Amino acid sequence: MNLNQLTVEDIQELADNPTIFDQGQLCYKRRSVDQFYLSGKGITAKVQTKQGNYSVEVRTGGGTLTMNCTCPYEDAVCDHGVAVLWYAIYGDPDDPVENDEDEMEAIAEDSSSPTNTPDALEVALRGMGVDALVKMVLQFVEEFPEVRHLLLSQVNLSSDLIQKKSTTQVTAKELKQEIKNFFEGTYEKLMEDEEEDYYDDSYYYDDYYEEDDEDEDELDLDEVFELAETLDLRERLDVFWSVVTWANHYFVEEEYLIGDEEITQALERFARVVLALEESGTQKQIYINSVVALLDWEMFQRDELDGVIKDTLDILCTTQEDYHYLIKQLEGCYHEDALDWIADCYRRLGDEANYLRWRESNLIRPYQYLELASYWQEQGKLEKYRATLERWISMYNLDQLDTDDYVRLQDYYTDRNHHQLILSKLSDFYQEKGDSENHYRVLMLRLEENGYSLDLYQQIKEVATGLKRWSLAQPRLLELASTNLAWLAEIYLEEEEWDKAIALSQNSNCGQFTDLNIAKGVKEHRPQGAIAIYEKVVMQYIKGKTRSSYQTAAMHAEMLKSIYLDILKDASGWHHYIDKLRQTYRGYPALQDEFKGL
C-alpha cells in the first residue's frame, strides 16, 4: 500500500472496527498528532492524549502496511494509528484549509482538473525563467528545510562552485566545531522544550499543545556535509566520524539520541569516502573493523538506527576478500543480527553450502524461516519450501509468545506479522496444489491467529463446503464475528440474510458506518428496511446543525430518493417524505438551501 495514495476508504478498511475509526478521526481533529515524519520506510509520529503519550509507527513493504502503537490496545490498528493516517492524508489540522472535509474533497477534485496536470505544471515552470524559478525554490526550501538535503543529493556541484567553496579555506577542525555546536544546540533546545512542556498546563488539559510558530528551524548538518566534500579524503573521514562520536557522547552522557538522520548520512558518506581512497587488504579492514565495533554501542540498538550499520557494511564490502574478512569478524560478535549478516555474506559470495549450513543451524525467528523457504523456492525445491514453513508452524505457540520475551516491542510485532505471512504462504501453497485438507487446516490456524475477516470467511467457506465441514466451521466464525457488529453485519450480507442484517441495525448500536453498509447491501432486496436506515442517518446529520452536516444529510437523502424512484417506483412516497422534511425544518435556511435540489 502506497502511503502517498492513501484514502479515507483505506483507513476505514484498516481500522479494527467503525468505533476505532470514529475515535481516530476525533483524535486527529483534536490535534493530538505531533512529531509526524513521513519517509520512504513509512511514518513515525507521537500522539498526545489525557491517558498518555504514545508512539505510532507505520511501515510499508511488499504491498502491505503494518502499524504499531505503544498504547495498551491489543488489536492491530488502534485509534491513535487511525489518527496518524488521517494526518498522512490531510496534514496539520491548523493549516489554512482548517481540515474541513468538504473543502478537502473539493481541493482533491480540483487537483485532477486539466489545469493542474503534470504537463500544465511543466509548461508553467518552463515559462517562469531561471531567476524566478530559483527564487521560488529557495522560498520553498526555507519553508521546508528537509527538502534542502534532497535537492542537494540530486545536484552535481560544478567545478566552479567547488573551487569557490575551496577558496573559503574551510578546515576539518572548523567543521568538527560546527558538528559539536549542532549537538550542543539541539540538546539545549530539547531541554528548553521539556521545561516548557512541564510548566504548560494546557498540555495536560487540552489533550494537545500548539507549537510556537516563531520557533527557529530545526538545526541540521546539511551545510557541514556539503562543505566537507571540499576537504581532503582522509579529512572527510575524520569529519563524518565526528558526527557518530558526538551523537554517542550525548546518548551515553545525557541519555538522548540526537541526530539519527545525520548519523545515517555521516556513515554512508564515510563508507563512500573509504571506497574513494581505493584501500585494500589490511588498510581497508581497519575501516571495516571500525564499523563492526559500532555493534557494541548501545546507541545503535535504537529503532531509529535500525539497519544503519548493515547498510554501511554493504557499501564497504566490494570484494570476496572483504566478505570473508567480515564473516570472521561477525563470528565472534554477540549482536543479534550478526547471524543473519553472516548468512547474507555467504549468499553474496555464492557459497551455497556454507549458507545452508549456517542458516539451518541458526533458525530462531520466523523471518529466518521465511528467508530459507524463499531460498528453496528460488531453487525450485518446493517440498523443502513447504517443509521449512511447516517446521516453524510446528514450533510456534501463540499462547506462549509474550511481549516480555522481547527487548523491543517492535520485534514482537515483527514476529507476529512474519508468522501471519508464513500462514498465508502455506495456505496459498496448499491451494495451488489442490490439497484441501491442509489448506483447510492452515486457514483455520489463520482464523485463530488473525481473527475474523470477510476474505478469510469466504476462503474457509469454499474449502469447508468442499470437505463437507461448513456446518462445523461456520459456528466458530460466527462466534468470533459476534464480538464486532460490523463483522456480523458483513456475514449477514454475505449470506444474504437481509432480515437479520436489518434487525441488527434496528436493535443494536452498530454505528453509522455499519448502518450505511447494511442499507446499501439490502436496498435491492429489502428497500423499506433500507429506507428506514437512511432516514435515521439523515436525521442524525440534521441534528448536527452545521452547513457541512446538512450537506451530508442531503447526500444520504439522495440515496433515499433513488430507492423510492428507481427501486420502488414510488414518486408520491418520495415527495411525501421530502415535503414533510422541508416543512418540519422550514426555519433552517441553510438546510433548505442544501435540500433544494432534491
Q: 365-389 pLDDT, tens per residue?
A: 899 999 999 999 999 999 999 999 9
Residue 107 identity (one-letter amino acid): I
Given this model, what pLDDT does residue 528 score?
96
Evaluate if residue 129 carries a pLDDT over 80: no
Evaluate if residue 162 carries a pLDDT over 50: no
Instruction: Name which of 101-115, 255-269, 442-456, 478-492 the model is least confident about.
Output: 101-115
Given this model, what pLDDT does residue 405 score?
62
Evaluate if residue 13 carries a pLDDT over 60: yes
Residue 55, strand partner residues: 46
Instruction: Name which of 11-25, 312-326, 421-435 the model is least confident about.
Output: 11-25
The C-alpha cell at 395 is: 514450533
Residue 57, strand partner residues: 44, 68
**3-state SS record for 79-115:** HHHHHHHHHHHHCCCCCCCCCCHHHHHHHHHHHCCHH
Enter the pTM of the model.
Answer: 0.59
Residues 495-520 as b or e (16 or more Cβ within 10 Å = b) = eeebeebbebbeeeebbebbbbbbbe
Please state, in angstroms and as integers, the Cα–Cα distance from residue 501 to each residue in 101, 184, 351, 495, 560, following that order.
30, 63, 60, 10, 18
Given this model, what pLDDT does residue 226 score?
92
At 126 the three-state DSSP class reads helix
Given this model, what pLDDT does residue 109 score?
43
Evaluate if residue 149 carries a pLDDT over 70: no
Helical H segments across 434-469, by residue range = 436-450, 454-466
CA distance 492 to 302: 47
Evaluate if residue 100 carries a pLDDT over 50: no
Give the mean model confidence (pLDDT) for residues 543-566: 94
Given this model, what pLDDT does residue 41 score?
66
Q: Domain map of the chain by residue range?
A: 3-102, 173-208+231-400, 485-598
CA distance 58 to 4: 13
For residue 262, the Cα-to-chain-centroid distance in whole angstroms is 22
Give the mean model confidence (pLDDT) for residues 224-230: 93
Given this model, what pLDDT does residue 54 score?
83
Q: Higher pLDDT residue, 523 or 449?
A: 523
401-450 tens-digit pLDDT? 566 666 667 777 888 889 999 999 999 999 999 999 999 999 999 998 88
40-79 tens-digit pLDDT? 567 888 888 877 778 888 887 666 788 888 887 776 788 8
At 58 the three-state DSSP class reads strand
The C-alpha cell at 228 is: 566537507
The residues, ordered by sequence, that sit 6+ positions from 564 with a Cβ below 8 Å of its Cβ are: 531, 570, 571, 573, 574, 577
Instruction: From 528, 524, 506, select the one nearest 515 (Cα to Cα).
Output: 506
Helical H segments across 379-509, by residue range = 382-395, 409-433, 436-450, 454-466, 470-481, 485-494, 498-507
Q: Are 267 and 291 in contact (CB under 8 A)?
A: yes
pLDDT band at 554 (very low <50, low <70, confident <90, very high): very high
Percent of the chain with pLDDT over 70: 81
CA distance 386 to 298: 38
Give the mean model confidence (pLDDT) for residues 97-122: 45
In terms of C-beta density within 10 A (0-12 exposed, 13-18 middle, 19 or more buried), how is residue 205 classed?
exposed
Given this model, what pLDDT does residue 584 score?
93
Instruction: From 229, 239, 252, 255, select the one nearest 182 (Cα to Cα).
Output: 239
Given this model, what pLDDT does residue 273 score?
95
Given this model, what pLDDT does residue 53 score?
79
- Kindly tell me the sign of the dihedral angle through the C-alpha atoms of 529, 535, 541, 543: negative
**Rounded mean pLDDT of the chain?**
83
Given this model, what pLDDT does residue 36 score?
77
CA distance 594 to 291: 66
Evaluate if residue 595 carries a pLDDT over 80: yes
Give the mean model confidence (pLDDT) for residues 250-278: 93
